[in-house]
């Protein structure tokens, strides 16, 4: 068998390996892209600086769906306290209007850093829910 007859088959083999390798690279990139778009950390973290004793208000758009609740939580409650601003309805109002934004208050308790996560979850379900916004809160002295 002559070497010249082996060259076309070797060339075909290289093309097959290159095609399989290209396909593998494409799949890997696709899976990584899917992982990035399916993030559950609430997107990019926003930074917030407050002083001890200071209260900042954060407004989140209301989803308009009464089967979900909006939750705000801190990973370090010694540094930051998160509460929901409760507005009393007008005296002559019989039904509560949930079309406006939900307002949370973030209060600096002591010097430090805390992650504050706002998430939604179905009513009467356990767990932390789906994060929609995250803040890194830096509390400093006055």
What does the pLDDT read at residue 75? Answer: 94
- The rounded percent of the chain whose pLDDT value lies above 70 is 68
What does the pLDDT read at residue 39? Answer: 42
Helix (H) or strand (E) holding 41: none
More reliable by pLDDT, 2 or 24: 24
Mean pLDDT of 64-76: 84
Mean pLDDT of 85-98: 60
Query: How far is residue 110's CA from residue 36's CA, in Å, rounded to a whole number?
Result: 35
Query: How far is residue 116's CA from residue 131's CA, in Å, rounded to a whole number?
Result: 10
* CATH domain 46-86+100-140 topology: Immunoglobulin-like (2.60.40)
Statement: residue 121 has pLDDT above 80: yes
Band of pLDDT at residue 53, cut at 50, 70 and 90: very high
Band of pLDDT at residue 106, cut at 50, 70 and 90: very high
More reliable by pLDDT, 136 or 45: 136
**Contacts (Cβ under 8 Å, ≥6 apart) of 89:** 96, 97
What does the pLDDT read at residue 61? Answer: 82
The tens digit of pLDDT for each residue in 17-42 reads 788 877 676 667 666 665 444 444 55
Mode of pairing for the β-strands spanning 102-108 and 55-60 = antiparallel
What does the pLDDT read at residue 6? Answer: 56
Domain ranges of the chain: 1-38, 46-86+100-140
Query: How far is residue 18's CA from residue 76's CA, in Å, rounded to a whole number?
Result: 52
What does the pLDDT read at residue 35? Answer: 45
């Amino acid at each position: 068998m002559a070497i010249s007859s082996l060259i076309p088959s070797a060339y075909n083999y290289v093309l097959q390996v290159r095609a399989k390798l290209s396909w593998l690279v494409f799949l890997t990139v696709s899976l990584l892209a899917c992982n990035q778009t399916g993030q559950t950390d609430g997107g990019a973290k926003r930074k917030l600086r407050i002083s001890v004793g200071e209260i900042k208000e954060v407004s989140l758009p209301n989803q308009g769906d009464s089967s979900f609740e909006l939750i705000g939580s801190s990973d370090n409650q010694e540094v930051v306290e998160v509460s929901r601003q409760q507005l009393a309805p007008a005296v002559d109002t019989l039904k509560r209007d949930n079309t406006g934004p939900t307002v949370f208050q973030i209060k600096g308790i002591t010097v430090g850093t805390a992650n504050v996560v706002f998430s939604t979850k179905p009513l009467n379900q356990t767990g932390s829910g789906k994060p929609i916004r995250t803040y890194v809160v830096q509390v400093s002295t006055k």
